Chain A
């Protein structure tokens, strides 16, 4: 299986046995999630009309979303080695499975938003309140990312058992 192959890679074994590298990469991983969630939630709150009401939605999205992608890149670059080092245990960890599922849902949520409601953004760019569909996407985005953080923390709880 792919995760078993990952687990047996020499670099994965080295990371698994290292004393400092694992916690350091883990810290960078947490910080990358802070960057992703912080920027995504700020855009969501603007769509909901709760902050930055005087700024057009597109300006906020253009200023913040490139940083989200940098955060996403660091999340993958740190997350994949962290997974590889513990792949066989993590694969069966319910919290890890939930986190990956939620991550996929958050991705679909963002993709759907940009493919549907966001296409008409010029109609409500300056509006205090966006259309109901846009606000629904924003609320589910905040809920999904919060759940991703909580399930990420839960991985360690199941890992110890």
Chain B
């Protein structure tokens, strides 16, 4: 399996080894991951609220959502790199990646054509990404 040699290579890198062997690195990255979730998730929640102009809020909350997304991707990638086999073989993680792709597509669409329906769909998809992320630890 070609993926196996890639996973093996990742696991051998000094970055992966350092993160895996550290007592606190992955825990600290998970805290950053939660901070990113609060920013991106908060922006997704706000865009669906009543008494909120979707167009204005989607535009104005973009830097907040992008900051959250950047924190999530950065911390999430490092966490995944620390234990590549564990995450690659985890069903919840596989689902999370598929849902993440769907969320990004819908959210990009929302950014270009803001509407309440897209905001709701985007929120539901991000919630499902968060939920499948939570499940990773239980599988």
Contacts and interface: CB of A to CB of B under 8 A. Distances in A.
A150 interface: yes
Given A52-B56, A64-B46, A27 B134 contact: yes
Contacts of B52: 63-64
Interface in B37-62: 37-39, 41-46, 49, 51-52, 56-57, 60-61
A105 interface: no
A41 B39 CA distance: 8
A139 interface: no
Contact of A34 (B37, B57, B60, B64): B37
Contacts of B49: 63-64, 67
Contacts of A30: 34, 37, 130, 134
A39 B44 CA distance: 10
Interface residues of B, number: 28
A62 B127 CA distance: 25
A37 B46 CA distance: 11
A7 B34 CA distance: 28
Interface of A is mostly: helix
Interface residues of A, number: 31
B138 A34 contact: no
Contacts of B127: 31
Given A23-B134, A27-B131, A38 B46 contact: yes
Contacts of A23: 134, 138
A98 interface: no
Interface string A66-104: 010000000000000000000000000000000000000
